[in-house]
Amino acid sequence: MPHSEKKVPPPAEPSRKFRIRDSWGSRLGIIMAVAGSAIGLGNFLRFPAKAVANGGGAFLIPYFVSLFLLGIPLMWIEWTLGRYGGGFGHGTAPGIFHSIWQKNRFIKYFGVIGIFGPLVIFIYYTYIESWTLAYSFFALAGKYAQLNDQGMMQNFLRGFQGIENNQFFGGLGTAYFFFLATFAVNITVIYYGIKGGIERLCKWAMPLLFICGIVLMVRVMTLGTPDALKPDWNISNGFGFLWNPDFSALKSAKVWLEAAGQIFFTLSVGIGVILTYASYLSKGDDVALSGTTAASTNEIAEVILGGSIVIPAAFVFFGPVEIKSIAASGTFNLGFVTMPLVLQHLPLAQFFGFIWFLLLFLAGITSSVSLAQPAVAFLEDEFDISRKKAVGIFAVVSFILCQPAIFFLKNGVVDELDFWGGTFFLVVFAAIETVLFVWVFGMDKAWDEIHKGADIRIPRIYKFIIKYITPLFLSLILGIWLWQEWLPIIFMNNVASENKMYVLATRVGLLAVLFILALLVKIAWRRKKLQGEDMR
């Protein structure tokens, strides 16, 4: 055959690590996205309740100790590991862990937790998030405007949740409609990707969230003394109730554990989300300053805004006796029972009610879309499928998994999902990634990796803290928890007898999800090995 007629073989497909992945449009975009993932319902509901229950202002001591010794180091660890793994085409923990410890063929299976945890949280968090969307409409429509005490508002919430049929709701129809709407919004945002979906959402949602928070904070701080016959029920004493320190509480190990748990919860560390978000950075992108900025943004939202709205406002209208039971009533009651009643005492009650629930919805959706991303990224990166197909698979699977949380809320299913997905596995995952970062990757190499492209120099003391104090802190948390709580939880000592079958079924379902994810990891690695791809 003449030379001119020779067939030219098609070019070889690019290796996996050069495959084009999505990326962030700007540094502001990823900072807003990570901050959005961290700023959720817990900032405005869980944090003030925990502070009141654990020493008031004294709670801030273990809280900030945990922030500086645990939260910020884990933030840097996850940003750095994510960026490193993204350089090899991996956006989730199985691939990132394998990139660090290639000689260990089992380490990728520990990374399954980084997909499992966000998925489990997503399947109940999205339903709770949908309540905030529903209540935004209820506030504008004045649907609960005639309710004037805790009992009636509680009945309204229970009817909406489908826990009971009453004069307000005859079933789950309304709640399910708003769940479908919220789920659809989440999937739509995820469908449009990192830059076109998540970043775009967070760049307008986060400023709007802060505007809503500041408006509510200013209104609360200008409440004065609504009841002239009760001059002690004022905003100053309301802040005092929240922040006056009870230093004797610092003697309790439980307070320190609660503070550490709140840091995990509020910064979204130990979940796997930040790993995935950071994997879309390039090697020269800063992680040191960006991680610090994202954490600082979250702390402003939690300590300043979260600590200045619900509890001080409730004190003004309910007084020093009833506020104690209100603060201990749980996050749902604080957000959906107490706060609407407080806002109804104000002029423009419908407007301020809408602002409150819009604030919670924005906090919720910027978190929930982040929880979906690890599973979608895993399908994209490890199975080389399009985002459209990956989002479709995630939508179908997660929608099915959401149903038990909706229909069996009253049977303890959500509490069980929250414990395993949002508490226990967070600490376990954080411990694993810290050991990998410090002792396998190597602290010297890790320290250099943190500072690649960095716009700030992290104080050198943190090299010691990350290597020794953070792992010790995590080991202490796990050890005390196992000593104090393991057996009662396993044997369901605190679960009502009529709910034990539901809790047991939830645990079996969670084990099945964990097993299937591990099997998918095995299939992905075997597939790539057969194709001769570099699995670093």
Asked whether residue 451 is assigned to any structural domain, the reply reads: no
- Give buried/exposed letters for 342-352 (b at 16+ CB in 10 A, else e): bbbebeebbeb
Is 510 within the bounds of a domain?
A: no
- Is 12 a domain residue? no
Would you say 158 and 433 are in contact if contact means Cβ atoms under 8 Å apart?
Answer: no
Q: How far apart are CA 275 and CA 75, in angstroms?
A: 9
Q: What is the structure's pLDDT at 535?
A: 52
Question: What local confidence, expressed as pLDDT, does residue 532 receive?
Answer: 72
Closest CA to 275 of 411, 451, 83: 83
Cβ-proximal residues to 383 (8 Å cutoff; 6+ apart), any chain: 390, 524, 527
In a domain, 375, yes or no: yes
Q: What are phi and psi of 20, to 5 degrees?
A: -75, 125
Q: What is the DSSP string of 418-477?
A: HHIIIIIHHHHHHHHHHHIIIIITTHHHHHHHHTTT-SS---THHHHIIIIIHHHHHHHH
Phi, psi of 191 (to 5 degrees): -60, -40
| Number of Cβ atoms within 10 Å of the Cβ of 491 | 10
Domain enclosing residue 77, as ranges: 18-403
Residue 121 lies in a domain: yes
DSSP code at position 344: T
Q: Phi then psi for 183, rounded to 5 degrees?
A: -60, -40
**Residue 68 domain flag:** yes
Task: Name, in order, each residue with C-beta under 8 angstroms of 475's C-beta and a sequence gap of 6 or more.
Answer: 431
Contact 298, 266 (CB under 8 A): yes
Tens digit of each residue's pLDDT, the chain (536 residues): 444 444 444 444 334 444 578 999 999 999 999 999 999 988 998 899 889 888 999 999 999 999 999 999 999 999 999 999 999 999 999 999 999 999 999 999 999 999 999 999 999 999 999 999 999 999 999 999 999 889 999 999 999 999 998 999 989 999 999 999 999 999 999 999 999 999 999 999 999 999 999 999 999 999 878 777 788 999 999 999 999 999 999 988 888 888 988 998 899 899 999 999 999 999 899 999 999 999 999 999 999 999 999 999 999 999 888 888 888 887 888 899 999 999 998 899 999 999 999 999 999 999 999 999 999 999 999 999 999 999 999 999 999 999 999 999 999 999 999 999 988 899 899 999 999 999 999 999 999 999 999 999 999 999 999 999 999 999 988 888 788 778 888 899 989 999 999 999 999 999 999 999 999 999 999 998 888 755 55
Whether 447 is in a domain gets the answer no
CA–CA gap between residue 367 and residue 370 (Å, rounded):
5
Report the Cα 125 to chain-centroid distance in Å: 9
Rounded Cα–Cα distance for residues 357 and 135 (Å): 6
Do 66 and 470 touch, CB atoms closer than 8 A?
A: no
The answer to whether the beta carbons of residues 504 and 408 sit under 8 Å apart is no
Longest CA–CA separation in the chain, Å: 105
Number of domains comprising the chain = 1
Angle at 318 between CA 312 and CA 321, to 5 degrees: 95
Q: Residue 470 carries which side chain, given as an amino acid letter? A: T
With respect to residue 306, please indicate whether it lies within any of the assigned structural domains. yes
Task: With CA atoms as reference, report the closest residue to 30 among 274, 298, 267.
Answer: 274
Residue 59 belongs to domain with CATH number: 1.10.4160
